[in-house]
Amino acid sequence: MMRERIILFFALITIGLSTNAQVKERFERLSRIDGLSHDNVYSIIQDRYGFMWFGTQDGLNKFDGYTFQKFYHEASNNNSLISSNFGKIFEDSKGYLWFGSYINGLDQYDPIKKKFKHFFYNEKDSTSVSSNRIRCIAESSDGYIWLATSGGGL
C-alpha cells in the first residue's frame, strides 16, 4: 500500500510539472492598420536583438513588439534602401542584416551604425553581384555571403 502511494505521488508530481512546462503560443496578426507598410510580406526574421524584420512590397519594417519603424528607398538619400520591394532578409554571423530586392540589388545594414551599404550588378565590374534579382542569401562556415540570383547564378 505504501509503495502504491509513493508511485501515485510521483506520478501526480510528474503530471503537474509537465502541465506547467507547456508553453502556450500566442499568434497575433499584424497589418497596415497596425503600422506595417504593406500587407504583402515576403520575408520575416527575428534578429539577435529580438527585433522582427518584415520585407514587404512597399518597404522594410522593423518591429519592436509595439511599433514599426519603416525604411524606404529615397532617391535623394544615399543612406536609404536600394529599393522599397524586398523579398529576402538574412542576418549574418557578424550581426549585419542583408536585404535582397527583387529587381534592384542588395543592401547590407549595420544595426550599430544604422547605415546601409548597397550592392548591385555592374557589367563593367566583375566583382559586383551577378544580378540585381536576389532570390536567396546564405553564409558559408568561413563567413562568405552567398547570393542566388535570377539570371546571374550564384
Q: Which of 148, 71, 149 is nearest to 109 (CA)?
A: 71
Cβ contact 120:83 at 8 Å = no
In this prediction, residues 128-136 reach a mean pLDDT of 90
Residue ranges covered by each domain of the chain: 31-149
**pLDDT of amino acid 154:** 74
Percent of the chain surpassing pLDDT 70: 85
The CATH superfamily of 31-149 is YVTN repeat-like/Quinoprotein amine dehydrogenase (2.130.10.10)
Using 50, 70 and 90 to split pLDDT, how confident is the model at 6?
low
- Provide the Cα torsion 90, 93, 95, 96; round to 10°: -50
Which ranges constitute the DSSP H helices of the chain?
Answer: 2-21
In this prediction, residues 137-149 reach a mean pLDDT of 92
**pLDDT of amino acid 4:** 63
Cβ contact 48:90 at 8 Å = no
Mean pLDDT of the chain: 86
Using 50, 70 and 90 to split pLDDT, how confident is the model at 2?
low
